[in-house]
């Protein structure tokens, strides 16, 4: 099983919408726990998706997804140009909007679509949203 499949299953359970494949994956891990005493994290292969655990892997994935969607809302055509513009938008958001919104669990309706995506990135990884054009360009070139 590939790491991205494991992350898909984790997100499905978290969102309360597991597919039959995700349920089968969980059942296999639970059976290994009960029948063989294999720790659940090991039985579900959670320990291999990120050095700091599945939670960090899922949050990193969510942040990247929000940054990709935010970049898609920008008028620039190249990843580098979008990254530079997105850095400015992230910095403005961090300075002016985030202090007022950090306690919100969901983005308020008054935010623009771009700020809604940046909000999602900040919620996924508070204090860890990249503000370097180089790092954002790398993220935006990933699929």
Domain region containing 29: 3-49
DSSP for 26-73, please give it.
HHHHHHHHHHH---HHHHTTGGGS-TT-HHHHHHHHHHHHHHHHHHHT
The confidence band for 143, taking pLDDT boundaries of 50, 70 and 90, is: low
User: What is the DSSP secondary structure assignment for residue 97, as one 8-state letter?
Assistant: I
Asked if residue 81 belongs to a domain, the reply is yes
> Does residue 41 sit in the same domain as residue 100?
no
Residue 134 and residue 97 in one domain: yes
45 and 66 co-located in one domain:
no
Please write the tens of the pLDDT for every residue from 42-65. Answer: 888 887 777 677 788 888 889 999
- Whether 107 is in a domain gets the answer yes
Contacts of 59 (CB under 8 A, 6+ apart): 124, 125
**Structural domain contains residue 85:** yes
DSSP-derived letter for residue 142 is -
- Distance between CA atoms of residues 47 and 55, nearest Å: 11
Does 68 lie in the same domain as 130?
A: yes
Residues 66, 130, single domain; the answer is yes
Evaluate whether residue 56 is within a structural domain: no
Q: Same domain for 73 and 101? A: yes
Residue 23 lies in a domain: yes
What's the domain count of the chain?
A: 2
Is residue 55 in a domain?
Answer: no
Tell me what the pLDDT averaged over the chain comes to: 90
Structural domain contains residue 54: no
72 and 99 together in one domain: yes
Average pLDDT, integer, range 127-141: 91
Q: What integer pLDDT is reported at residue 78 of this predicted model?
A: 84
Q: Is 129 left (phi over 0), alpha (psi -120 to 50) or beta?
A: beta
């Amino acid at each position: 099983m590939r790491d991205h499949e494991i992350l898909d299953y984790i997100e499905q359970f978290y969102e309360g919408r597991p597919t039959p494949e995700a349920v089968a994956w969980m059942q296999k891990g639970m059976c290994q726990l009960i029948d063989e005493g294999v720790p659940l994290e090991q039985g579900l292969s959670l320990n291999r998706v990120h050095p700091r655990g599945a939670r960090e892997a899922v949050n990193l994935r969510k942040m990247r997804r929000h940054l990709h969607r935010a970049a898609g809302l920008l008028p620039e055509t190249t990843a580098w140009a979008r990254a530079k513009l997105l850095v400015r938008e992230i910095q403005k958001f961090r300075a002016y909007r985030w202090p007022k919104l950090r306690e919100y669990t969901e983005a308020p309706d008054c935010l623009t679509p771009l700020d809604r995506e940046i909000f999602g990135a900040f919620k996924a990884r508070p204090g860890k949203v990249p503000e370097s054009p180089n790092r954002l360009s790398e993220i935006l070139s990933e699929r």
